[in-house]
Amino acid sequence: MRTIVHVSDLHFGRTKPLLEKALKAIIERRSPDLVIVSGDITQRATALQFHSAHKFFSSLPYPMLVVPGNHDVPLYSVWRRFFLPYTLYKRYISEELDPQYEDAEMLVVGVNTVRIFKIMEGRVSGKQIARVKALFAVALPGKIKILVSHHPFNIPVGHRKRPLAHARHFWKSQINTGIDIILSGHLHDTLGVYSDRAYKLSTPGPLLIQAGTAISTRNRKEANSINIITLSTSHIALDRYEYVQHKQTFTIKKTEFFVRQGKSWIRDIDRSRRTSRPCHGTGCEILSRRCELCDWQSELHIS
C-alpha cells in the first residue's frame, strides 16, 4: 500500500502563510510515500517566488515529483520566456522537466505539458507520448502506473476548458499501457460537481484525478484543496481535503473509494461517502486494520 499527497497550483507569490502552515501540517500528519506537485508552483516565475517554493519543498522530508505549469515560465521577460524559460525552475526546483519516480509498488511518470505558444491549453508531443508508453510497457506486473501533468488530458462534457493539444493522439496510443491514474491541475477545480463524468471511466481506462489550488489566493468556485490518495493494486481511496478558515487547517470534505475491475477503476458507491466518518484512516478502510491516524484526526470526524 502507498500514500500519495497530490497538490497543485500553489502559486508562490500569491499564497497565505496560514495556508502554507496548514499544508505542511497535514502532509506531515499523513506522512506520505510521495508528494506530487502538478504544476503552477509560482505566480510569475520570479527568483523570489521560486526561492519561496524551494524553501517550502525542502522542509518536507518526503520524496517529491514535480512538473512545471504555465505560470512557471516568465511572463513579462520576453527574452527569458522564449529562450530561457526554465532557467529559474531548474535552479530552484528540479533539472528534470519530465521526471519519474519508482519504488517497489508504483511507477510515476511526469510530463511537461507547458508550451510557449499554447501557454493556457498546453500540449503533449509525440516524443513524450512514446516515452510514456515505453516506460509503462516495461513496468513489472502489479506495479501501479501513475501519470502526472499540469494540463488535463481529459475534461468532462460541459466544462468551459478543453483538454491539452494532442490529447486524442495520446489516448489512442496508451490503450494497452495499463495506466491506472492520471493526476493533473491547472483548472483550480476538482471537478467534483461532474461526478463520474470527470473520471472518464471507460473500459479499459485510467482514473482521472484533478486537484484544486492548494495554498493560493486565486480561488475560483472552490476552497483551497488537496488530494491524499491511498492505493494498492486492487483498491484506491481518495480523500479530498479542503481548507477550513476558522479552524486554520485542512479537513476531509469527501472520501471516494474505487476498486479495480479488469483494466479499469470503478467507483465503490457503497463505501464512497462524505465526512462524518467513524474512522479517518483510509489505510484501515482498505486493509481492514486500525490506522494510526484515528486518534489525532478524531476532532475532524464531525462535519
Rounded CA-CA distance 73/78 in Å is 10
For the cut 50, the answer to whether the pLDDT of residue 276 exceeds it is no
Q: Which residue has the higher pLDDT, 165 or 127?
A: 127
pLDDT of residue 299: 32
For the cut 60, the answer to whether the pLDDT of residue 277 exceeds it is no
Low-confidence winner among 97-106, 173-182, 224-233 (lowest mean pLDDT): 173-182
Q: Which residue has the higher pLDDT, 293 or 221?
A: 221
For the cut 60, the answer to whether the pLDDT of residue 92 exceeds it is yes
Looking at residue 252, its amino acid is I
Which CATH number covers residue 155? 3.60.21.10
Tally the C-alpha atoms within 13 A of residue 238's C-alpha that lie toward its C-beta. Answer: 26
For the cut 70, the answer to whether the pLDDT of residue 193 exceeds it is no
For the cut 90, the answer to whether the pLDDT of residue 174 exceeds it is no
Query: Which residues lie below 8 Å from residue 9, measured CB to CB, with a gap of 6+?
Result: 38, 39, 40, 69, 185, 186, 188, 211, 212, 213, 214, 216, 218
For the cut 70, the answer to whether the pLDDT of residue 131 exceeds it is yes
pLDDT of residue 192: 63
Q: Where is 211: in which H helix or E strand?
A: none
Arithmetic mean of pLDDT, 177-194: 84
pLDDT of residue 264: 81
Query: Which residues lie below 8 Å from residue 146, measured CB to CB, with a gap of 6+?
Result: 4, 36, 106, 107, 108, 109, 179, 180, 181, 182, 183
Q: How confident is the model at residue 286 (pLDDT cuts 50, 70, 90)?
A: very low
Q: Model pTM?
A: 0.86
For the cut 70, the answer to whether the pLDDT of residue 294 exceeds it is no
**DSSP H helical segments within 59-125, as ranges?**
78-83, 87-92
For the cut 60, the answer to whether the pLDDT of residue 199 exceeds it is no
Rounded CA-CA distance 293/39 in Å is 29
pLDDT of residue 158: 63
**Percent of the chain at pLDDT above 90?**
61
Tally the C-alpha atoms within 13 A of residue 244's C-alpha that lie toward its C-beta. Answer: 12
Instruction: Please say whether the beta carbons of 182 and 211 come within 8 A.
Output: no
pLDDT of residue 275: 39
Size of the chain, expressed as the number of residues it contains: 303
Q: Label the pairing between strands 100-102 and 106-111.
A: antiparallel
Q: Which residue has the higher pLDDT, 172 or 179?
A: 179
Q: Contacts by 50-53 with C-beta closer than 8 Å and gap 24+?
A: 50/12, 50/88, 50/89, 50/91, 50/92, 50/93, 51/92, 52/12, 52/13, 52/15, 53/10, 53/12, 53/92, 53/93
pLDDT of residue 194: 53
For the cut 70, the answer to whether the pLDDT of residue 95 exceeds it is yes
Q: What share of the chain is helix, strand, coil (3-state, %, to 5)?
A: 25, 25, 45
Arithmetic mean of pLDDT, 203-218: 86
Neighbour count for residue 41 (Cβ, 10 Å): 31
Q: Which residue has the higher pLDDT, 88 or 190?
A: 88
pLDDT of residue 177: 86
Arithmetic mean of pLDDT, 199-209: 65
Which domain covers residue 223, as residue numbers? Answer: 2-300
Count how many domains the chain has. Answer: 1
Instruction: Please say whether the beta carbons of 236 and 230 come within 8 A.
Output: yes
Instruction: Please say whether the beta carbons of 80 and 114 come within 8 A.
Output: no
Q: Which of 96, 37, 91 is nearest to 62 (CA)?
A: 37
